[in-house]
Structure 1
Amino acid sequence: MTEAPHRCAWAGEDPQMRAYHDEEWGVPQHDPRMLWEMLMLEGFQAGLSWITVLRKREAFRRAFAGFDPNTVASFGEAEIARLLQDPGIIRSRAKIEATIGGARIYNEMMARGEDFAAFCWSFTGGKVVQGDGKKLLATTALSEAASKELKRRGFKFVGPTIVHAWMQAVGMVNDHTSGCFRRGQLS
């Protein structure tokens, strides 16, 4: 019988959370649309647990047109009303409006020739920052600086804690714990 791999404690026993940990969390993401999608989903997590968002992710993708920024940027009151009635997602007007606003900012950046992926990775100098492998921090000086810049550009629900969780999720920061089988794979 083979021994189960050691994972970060937060992966727990939930099969969906374990799959997310094993296959997605911490994998360096360079697709600008996906980086934006994950930033928006992390914003929906504010005040909740990630598993809540993870379980609703496919419903979010359906509700927000596959997180196509061009489509989401065109959403108006009719779409907001529809989203507020959608039981598959987190029905927070502020978070829905932040996602629509975030799509508009994303599109403005891209229209100016500013690649969203290059912008995101500029916070880490284009490299994966290696956490110490001992403890997960809620915020760092890096997430505080990134949060400040995202807010300056008009993004909402991008406080330092949300931004740090996002940076971990999209692999800008490798915060897998030292005993976790994924840490070395992503170093």
Structure 2
Amino acid sequence: MRADDITDYHLARLLILLSYFGRPGSNGLDGLTKLAKLDFLLRYPSFTDRLLVGRNASWPLGCEPSSDELEAVESRMIRYKYGPWDNRYYPLLGKLVGCGLVETVTGRGRIAIRLTGPGAEIADSLARSDEWYVYAGRSEMLSKRFNLTGNKLKTMIYESLPEAVDLPYWGEI
């Protein structure tokens, strides 16, 4: 896989995730901590599966992780000061802003991120495709079950998934 393909993959996933948390005209997704934790739950269905059981919830029909997904790692994240983090967020968000697909707005004392009209159109088109349908269903589920503050998501991950946060800083998850 070429580096551009990997970048496009991450950009598409973030657009879909933002389509459920930061539609145009909304207050946006409040803060990078929340984005990182939601993206962690989207990328690591084995961890999300355990959190769903704890919340007496389940995956949407057709979006359940396969046995391969439960065993594999979608792509590496890094153990950072506040839990899982991907050092690509800043350049990825910068690219999305530079392309006019997302914008930043002032949230509750932090910067919030939301889609622009063109970003929403692309995200919606991706969500309807066979390749991204499952990510869209999972993102919608996250918006219904895990639409918490970044700090509450961080606390939930720390308490429920210690193996994801008990690594040394900068260690791969």
> TM-score interval w.r.t. the shorter chain?
under 0.3
Please tell me whether Structure 1 or Structure 2 has the larger radius of gyration of its CA atoms: 1
TM norm structure 2: 0.26
- Which structure: greater strand fraction? 2
TM norm structure 1: 0.25
**Relative contact order higher in (CA < 8 Å, ≥ 6 apart):** 2
